[in-house]
A and B are shown apart, each in its own frame.
Chain A
Amino acid sequence: MPKILVADDSETIRMLLRTALGRAGYEVETANDGPTAHSMAKDGGFDLIILDQLMPGLLGLDVIEQLRDDGVEAPVLMLTGVDDGTTAAESLDRGAVDYIRKPFDMNELLARIKSRL
């Protein structure tokens, strides 16, 4: 069963994704902030990482960069809440494989995840 890490400071998103992804057959773990996400991803052996951009401690973009520096290869999907194109584009530059804007369609998210795993 593929393992996914969901990192977002919003409890709503963590709960929603945990339920929906769990239903879809994935094992889910969550993190509330940047540094925790980074350390969990480093140790964890996740097959996919879903990152929010605006998290306390460390921005999502910075987390990706640090993970790539640490040699973590898992694909990263960015959740961008802020309504501008720069974060999205930059996340792809830094090594994310995809991004999805909030508010998002759950079916679409599930489809994108499926295509990456």
Chain B
Amino acid sequence: MLDIRIAEIGTFVIYLTDVALLLLLVGLKTIHRSRMRDHDRRRQEYLGVLSRHVSYQDCTDPITPRMAGDSAFLDALIDVREVLSGYELANLEAIVAEHGVSAGLVRRLASPFPLGRRLRAAVALAEIGDKTTAPAMIHHLSDREPDVRVECARGLARLKWTAAIDDIVARFAIEEAPVRARFADSLVGFGSKATWPLLAYARVNHRAEDAGPALALRTIGRIRDLAAADSIHQILEEGPSLEVTIASVEALGVIASPYSVEKVEPLLHDDRWQVRAKSASALGQISEPSSVPWLSAALRDVNFWVRRNAASALAQVPTGIEALYDALEDADPYAADAAAEALADAGELVAARRRVSAGSSGDEPLLAHMESEA
């Protein structure tokens, strides 16, 4: 008998839950629907207001505090910011900042609950870009919520608040991978001011662990500060681990300093194919004609990916195309194939066909190669 009682109570509870869920579902959907429509309508309206502020110097459309606190307004603002750069945007921010919006957001961020409002406040602070909120954002770089930390770093980067860089880099060592990756994104926003702290971090830590320093090096690459190339050369000379070497070479490729050519070329003979492949790509990005003989040699490398990367690198380097045509005749069929691919990707195949259909009677080695059997 006892188990039947339990079953009955259990059943009753379940059904109560079901009814509650059903009501919640129906209720939420109805509310959500009308809220979404309302939100979209307001967003369009605000988009119009913002467009007029951007287009007319003397625009007198009011931006009320209520508007500025509306999430639809923030949506519109974010949309506009994604699309425009330039200083009309700064005027916009000044107008918004006037209305005490930021102070309200900082207060919301400071309160311990609820999570949703705090996150939205953090995102909004990052988007609005009011300088007076910088100290609050620095404080919340060590917030207990990872997403809040990320948004604060992002906001500081938008403000180019260089005083925060050291704090952010210092957290590289203690953050989990996803947060660290987004901190790295923010550091790119700071530009070359972030280069030296990142380099320092990479140099000190690359013997201890891989992922952080590798990320730091890739980030330095993204910043494209030519002055960093030399320090990266020094790191390479210390013979770091595979991950750090690859990240360094990748960064050098993105920075594309001509002085890196002589540092990267020897790596085309490294034992590890990943290093050779990455070096070939990097030389392509640096695009110095002096690399052509080295890259041609790399076309005959034993590794599939090295050959391919060398071929596409040659297509990027001035006078490399000739070297690729030469390789078509090569005894090594793998080198010829790689060269053919790079030439086709560079548009040579289409050009060759056009010449043929225009009646040219010249030699077309690329066409001959493509039409021959493997």
A–B contact, 8 Å CB criterion (strictly below): yes
A to B contact number (C-beta, < 8 Å) = 57
Given contacts A11-B47, A12-B47, contact A103 B55 (CB under 8 A): no
Asked whether any CB of chain A lies closer than 8 Å to the CB of B83, the reply is yes
A10 to B52, CA, bound (A): 17
Given contacts A11-B47, A12-B47, A12-B80, contact A19 B54 (CB under 8 A): yes
Closest to B81 in A: A103
B56 touching A106, Cβ below 8 Å: no
Asked whether any CB of chain B lies closer than 8 Å to the CB of A82, the reply is no
Which one of B84-92, B201-209, B252-260, B284-292 is at the A interface?
Answer: B84-92
A107 to B87, CA, bound (A): 9
A108 touching B86, Cβ below 8 Å: yes
B85 touching A103, Cβ below 8 Å: yes
CB 8 Å contact bits of B69-90 with A (1 = contact, 0 = none): 0000000100111111110100
CB 8 Å contact bits of B169-213 with A (1 = contact, 0 = none): 000000000000000000000000000000000000000000000
Asked whether any CB of chain B lies closer than 8 Å to the CB of A105, the reply is yes
A105 to B82, CA, bound (A): 11
B85 touching A19, Cβ below 8 Å: no
Given contacts A20-B55, A23-B56, A106-B55, contact A15 B84 (CB under 8 A): no
Asked whether any CB of chain B lies closer than 8 Å to the CB of A116, the reply is no
A104 to B82, CA, bound (A): 9
Closest to A101 in B: B85
Mark A residues whose CB is within 8 Å of B: 10-13, 15-16, 18-20, 22-24, 102-108
B48 touching A19, Cβ below 8 Å: yes
- In order of increasing CB-CB distance, the 6 nearest A-B pairs are A105-B86, A19-B51, A20-B55, A12-B79, A103-B85, A23-B55
A18 to B268, CA, bound (A): 53
B54 touching A20, Cβ below 8 Å: yes
B54 touching A103, Cβ below 8 Å: no
B86 touching A107, Cβ below 8 Å: yes
B48 touching A103, Cβ below 8 Å: no
Contacts of B81 in A (CB 8 A): 103
CB 8 Å contact bits of B213-252 with A (1 = contact, 0 = none): 0000000000000000000000000000000000000000
A20 to B56, CA, bound (A): 8
The CB with the most chain B CB atoms within 10 A, among A10, A11, A19, is that of A19
